[in-house]
Structures are given as structure tokens and as C-alpha cells.
Amino acid sequence: MTSDASESEDYITRLEKLLEVLELMQLDQANYVLMMSAPHIIPAAIGYEQRMFAQDLANNVHSLARTTRWLKLAHTERTRELLSRDPQGVHHPQSRLTTKQVINYALCNLCISLSPIQASDVPETLQLDTERLSSTQQTVRTIVISSALLLTIKSLLRRDARTSWKPLKEKIVSILSSSSPDTRSPEAKAADIASFITSTITMMPVPSTINSALTRLLPRPEDDPVVKVMLNRLRGFVLARLAAETPREKVRLGSGAADTLVSFGMAEQIPEVGTLVEGMVKMMDVNRGCYGRWYDEIVAGFAMTEL
């Protein structure tokens, strides 16, 4: 009896391993087929998405209501900015908004923000990018808040804001990380950062003003004036990179990017900002390729209502 049970268990174990091997072989085959098909699928992807989106619009699966509101807000805000720079009412042709400028501004409104993205805020044309948008915004939040904390600490220690303190940045980012939330009190987090500064930078107790500043900033960073400044600086930087049209503009902005970020007080964040910009440029290029004709129609409608 015991022998039969043992043989049965051994048979089941071998069968389970065989099934695992077959599943892995199926996965490998699927990956191989996908890899071989990619050169043929990718060029047709934009056309396919356009047809499916148009079909959904025709069948009332969704509308363009959220997309229209999203672009209208960006168009209004950007127009207001341009008018504030033109007090004499010259209305130079170069200041007229293009569809690309409106979309870029709208994307920055969505991503370069400390307020969590709500499902109701995501336009229909970006529904497929909802997870990517949330990830991008989380990256923005980490960059901005860590930069503000570092700038505050350097200022209180009377150190050059342009110097790079990467170990301290990594310490702060680990505390801000959303993947493994730090549930300690703001006071405990501030004390941890102060202790790290003492052991790695100053080699002496840090001023109490640093503990106070960190304790005040950590619970509600969106209310801190330094955070707001860093957010606006990052927003302007990303918007300029998205707006670059010619290879010459892109090279000029790319070559001076590091110096610009250092002057902003983001010396430690250069790689992260570069990755952020690259991701947003790719996302917007693909998105505009898929939904450009709807964007053109919507933005053209704004221009008509202003006449």
C-alpha cells in the first residue's frame, strides 16, 4: 500500500514538472513568434489604433468629452500666458498656438503635478497609457520633493546648491518610495535624514532648523514653497524639450540640459530627469501619431470660437 502511494506521488510530481516544461516551451514559442512578427506589426499599429478608436466613437463606446476638456484647459491657460507677455497686443504670428503646443502643455498639466491622476482626468486618447501616466507622475513627485529637500538642506547648511550629494538623495528617495512606504512619523523620518547627514556629510550634529524644516515639509510637501518652485522649474524644462522641433533645437537643449538642471538645484536628478523627458517625448509622439486628426479638429474648434 505504501509502495503504491509512493509511486502515485512520484508520478504526479513528474507530471507537474512535465507540464511546467511545456508551459515554458509555449511561452518561449509565443515570445519568438512575437519577436519575428514585430517588424510587420509595429508599422501597422498606429493605423489599427486609429480604426479601432474611430469605430468606438461611431458606436458611442466613448466620446471625446474628456479630451476636449483637457485640451480646452491647456489652450486657455497657454493663451493667457502668451497674452501676459504681449501687453501691447501685437499678436505676433509666432505666438499663435499650434496643436502640438497645446498637446504638450496639456500633457505637462497632467504629468508634472503632485496631485494624483484620477480616472476621470485621463482623456479618452490616453486611456491605453493610464498606468504609464501614473508611473510618470510618481517619478515627477519623487524628483521634485527630493530636489526640494536637498535644496533646503544645502541652504540651511550654507552649502553650494550646485554640488551633488547623491548618497543623501538615495536616502531621501528610499524614504519617499511608494513601492515600500515608510510609515514612520515625519519627526522620525526627519531624524533619520539628519542622522544620515551627520554621519556622511557634516560629521557633526546638524542644526535643529533642518529637523524643523524636514518635519514641516514631509507631511504635506505640495504646500511647501520650495517644492512649488522645483515643480515649476521641472515643468518648464520638460515643456521646452517637448516643444523642440528641429534636430538643431534638440541638440542645443540636450547639450545644455545638465547645466540647466544643476542651476535649478537638481544636480542629483540629472539621469532621472533625462529618463522622464525621453519617456514623455516617446509617449507623446506615438499618441499624436494615433490621434492627431482628432486633436487637430478639437484645437481648430477653439480657434474658431475665438474669432
Question: In this structure, which amino acid lies at residue 50?
Answer: Q
Rounded to whole angstroms, the Cα distance separating 126 from 120 reads: 12
Q: What is the pLDDT confidence band of residue 304, given thresholds at 50, 70 and 90?
A: low
Rounded to whole angstroms, the Cα distance separating 133 from 294 reads: 20
pLDDT at 5 over 60: no
Q: What is the mean pLDDT of the chain?
A: 86
Chain segment 106-164, per-residue pLDDT in tens = 999 999 999 888 888 899 999 989 999 999 999 999 999 999 999 999 999 999 988 88
Domain ranges of the chain: 1-61, 65-306
Rounded to whole angstroms, the Cα distance separating 199 from 187 reads: 18
